[in-house]
Amino acid sequence: MNAGDSVKFLAVDAAALSGALSQAASTTDPSASSTDPTTTSNFLLNESGGFEEPKKVIENVSDWWTELDLWNRFQSKLPTLVLAAVTVALGYLVSKLVFHLIERAMKRRKVDYAVYHFIARLIRFVIFLGFLLNALSMFFNVSTLWATLGAAGVAIALGLQDSVSQFVSGIQILINRPFKTGDYVEVAGVQGNIAEIGFMNTILITLDNKRVIVPNSDITKNHITNYSAESCRRVDLTFSISYGDDIARAKAVVRKAAEACEKILRDPAPEIVVGAHSSSSIDLFARVWCLSKDYWDVFFEMQETVKLSFDANDIHIPFEQVDVHIVEPPVKKE
């Protein structure tokens, strides 16, 4: 391609570009379509197809920009833009204020934190959405916008089925209330204290202070064990003694250890029974009751106290033993 062809190629491209801009301007402002094409669609070229002088090009561009009248349009829409911005800002402030008022009111009534926090956030979202749609109605047809959002919502719901399921499961948890904030539970194979129940997930804090986030759908699809639902729990303990020890004496030692533990309840009374005859021991079952919050304190204290009491009373805790009998093969006779 020589220099002359390059100039012609650039001229054609410039004409196409200026024509597209002119078409866009005429679409925006119908009055622009009645202007002279030599000043709008070909402001880079003259009537003979050659390039205009720089001064003429600048004049053509200036005329085209004046015909668009963007500044006057902006000035005419400025009050509407300001009103829309004020509406959105007011919606944000009102929704935030309502959010805090609902939280305070429900907190005074001692409603569970997860419940009132969820409800307050949902109401805040609905209020802000109403103000936002009101602002958009100043520029668009809201009914058309709703139809568009509805169609988009169906497509999004199909693509985000798991997220929708988690959201619905969150609402189900808040309605049925299988647990509340602070409860020690086991859900989806995870044990910990409930820290927060959200729209999509539930947050647990484990005993070793790990933060575990469990999807709500996994919780509702599996068994839920709430260790804090009842005020009292039974601690089941097993202590083994040898077959040569005195059973009555061993039971008395375990009972005395249970009575010495201050966190064990007296009603129901501790129960000490012979639970099993194992292969190398007699197993004593101790069933004691305590407050749910004292479960592990009682468990650990009883394990230590009973072992020390057995040692002091010459009661043996057996361990598994295996007797191996070696049989010599018969000697072959010659």
In this predicted model, what pLDDT tens digit does every residue of 215-256 receive, in sequence order?
999 998 899 999 999 999 999 999 999 999 999 999 999 999
pLDDT of res. 157: 64
Mean pLDDT of 316-322: 79
- Which stretch, 97-106, 262-271, 322-331, has highest mean pLDDT? 262-271
Strands 282-291 and 184-187: unpaired
Q: Going edge to edge, which strands form the sheet with 282-291?
A: 232-241, 282-291, 271-277
In this predicted model, what pLDDT tens digit does every residue of 307-318 receive, in sequence order?
999 999 999 988
Mean pLDDT of 281-307: 95
DSSP string over 80-114: HHHHHHHHHHHHHHHHHHHHHHHHHHHHHTT--HH
pLDDT of res. 32: 43
In this predicted model, what pLDDT tens digit does every residue of 269-283 receive, in sequence order?
999 999 999 888 999
Q: What are 36's two structure tokens?
A: 């002279």
Least confident of 2-6, 57-61, 166-170, 257-261: 2-6
CA count, 13 A, side-chain hemisphere, 314: 2
| pLDDT, averaged across the chain | 79
Sign of CA dihedral 273, 279, 281, 287: negative
- Asked if residues 211 and 190 have their Cβ atoms less than 8 Å apart, the reply is no
Local confidence band at 210 (pLDDT 50, 70, 90 cut-offs): very high
Sign of CA dihedral 27, 28, 30, 32: negative
Local confidence band at 141 (pLDDT 50, 70, 90 cut-offs): confident
In this predicted model, what pLDDT tens digit does every residue of 19-57 receive, in sequence order?
544 444 444 444 444 444 444 445 555 555 555 556 666
The SS3 of residue 252 is helix
Q: How far is CA 174 from CA 95, 179, 215, in A?
A: 22, 9, 14
pLDDT of res. 183: 92
| CA pair distance 254, 251, nearest whole angstrom | 5
Q: What are 201's two structure tokens?
A: 């997930």
| CA pair distance 10, 7, nearest whole angstrom | 5
Mean pLDDT of 182-189: 92
Please report the beta strands in the chain, taking only residues with DSSP state E, as ranges in sequence order: 184-187, 190-197, 201-205, 211-215, 224-226, 232-241, 271-277, 282-291
Residues of the chain above pLDDT 90, percent: 37
Domains in the chain and their CATH numbers?
A: 3-68 (no CATH), 73-159 (1.10.287.1260), 179-226 (2.30.30.60), 232-312 (3.30.70.100)
Q: Is the pLDDT of residue 145 over 70?
A: no
Maximum alpha-carbon separation in the chain: 131
Least confident of 96-105, 292-301, 323-332: 323-332
* Amino acid identity at 263: K
Higher pLDDT, 128 or 2: 128
Least confident of 19-23, 121-125, 130-134: 19-23
Higher pLDDT, 39 or 133: 133
pLDDT of res. 324: 80
Local confidence band at 3 (pLDDT 50, 70, 90 cut-offs): very low
The SS3 of residue 202 is strand
